[in-house]
Amino acid sequence: MPTIAEAYKEAYAKGKPYGVLPVDLRLLLMHDENLSEQIDVIYDKDKVMTNYPLFCQQVDRLIADEPVEYIINEAEFLQHRLYVDSRVLIPRGETEELVAAISENIGDYFDARNYLVCADIGTGSGAISVALKEAFPNWLLLASDISQDALDVAKMNFEKYGVAAQTYLGDALAPYIENKINLDILVCNPPYILNKEDAQASVRDFEPASALWMDKGHSVYESIFRDYKKVKKGALYMAFEISPDLVDYLTELMAKYLEDYEFHFADDLNKMKRFLFVYCR
């Protein structure tokens, strides 16, 4: 069997023409060889591989554009290692930024130490709920998704991190309305890609369509703005991840449906309009 360094070198040469990233190879090696961190791939480079045949198979899957997170069934999100598979969207850095922005700004609207009711709509892997519960342990976290498969994955991550989040199956605000639940905070990372051509092949071919493609005729944004009064008892804070090409569309929707509100769009680290924050008094 080759050493870790030899296996990496061979895989890099094989995968480079197909755009395979070195970081993905290191993640595979870390996972397959039971190493704690990526840096251990370098520290233990002279160690003889114990799972070389598996690694070779996984490299072929990378070459076929399968995301590394699905291959190892793990994605890192704000220092949490979440279980993921093809039933859920892979959590990304932009969503980490969304959680960070909520954590930084929520104090402008509520005393975040209170027992606030927060809904994570379109929870997917449960990444947002896991991160928010750690930051705000007093909050009552509610997580919903239109996909039972996604909820099953989220429950695995809630159990792993001891998050006592109530889960609901349903679209947009429907499960909260049906259960007569009033919300203080609403966080949503809905499908927002309008053109499939804008997505990478690995996204188009492997990640769940229901979490990706937006239909303006039935958008989660519009459903929430249309029905928000049905879950609003006092003030309501809403945080969304968006696509930059939706700014005008969302501005028009808010003007159509919302009352007594303030809002702002915020850039991600790449200076793209990626977030919408709304406060309804």
Chain segment 78-137, per-residue pLDDT in tens: 999 999 999 999 999 999 999 999 999 999 999 999 999 999 999 999 999 999 999 999
Tokens in use for 247?
Answer: 């700014």
Residues 148 and 256 in one domain: yes
Whether residue 79 lies inside any domain: the answer is no
Residues 53 and 174 in one domain: no
Which range marks the domain in which residue 222 is found?
87-280
Whether residue 35 lies inside any domain: the answer is yes
Question: Residue 242 — very low, low, confident or very high, per pLDDT cuts 50/70/90?
Answer: very high
Alpha carbons 105 and 66: distance in angstroms, whole number: 36
Residues 253 and 168 in one domain: yes
Whether residue 80 lies inside any domain: the answer is no
Residues 50 and 169 in one domain: no
**Total domains present in the chain:** 2
Tokens in use for 196?
Answer: 């499939």
- Tally of CB atoms within 10 A around 155: 16
Chain segment 29-80, per-residue pLDDT in tens: 999 999 999 999 999 999 999 999 999 999 999 999 999 999 999 999 999 9
CA dihedral sign, ordered 6, 8, 13, 14: positive
Q: Are 220 and 173 in contact (CB under 8 A)?
A: no
Is 80 exceeded by the pLDDT of residue 1?
A: yes
Tokens in use for 245?
Answer: 């090409």
Tokens in use for 123?
Answer: 């929870």
Residues 46 and 117 in one domain: no
Alpha carbons 119 and 231: distance in angstroms, whole number: 10
> For residue 213, what is the domain's CATH number?
3.40.50.150
Whether residue 219 lies inside any domain: the answer is yes
Mean pLDDT of 3-19: 96
Q: Are 130 and 158 in contact (CB under 8 A)?
A: yes
Residues 91 and 50 in one domain: no
Residues 164 and 25 in one domain: no
Whether residue 223 lies inside any domain: the answer is yes
Cα–Cα–Cα angle for 34, 208, 245, rounded to 5 degrees:
115
Q: Are 124 and 145 in contact (CB under 8 A)?
A: yes
Q: What is the pTM of this model?
A: 0.93
Residue where a domain stops, chosen among 64, 79, 114: 64
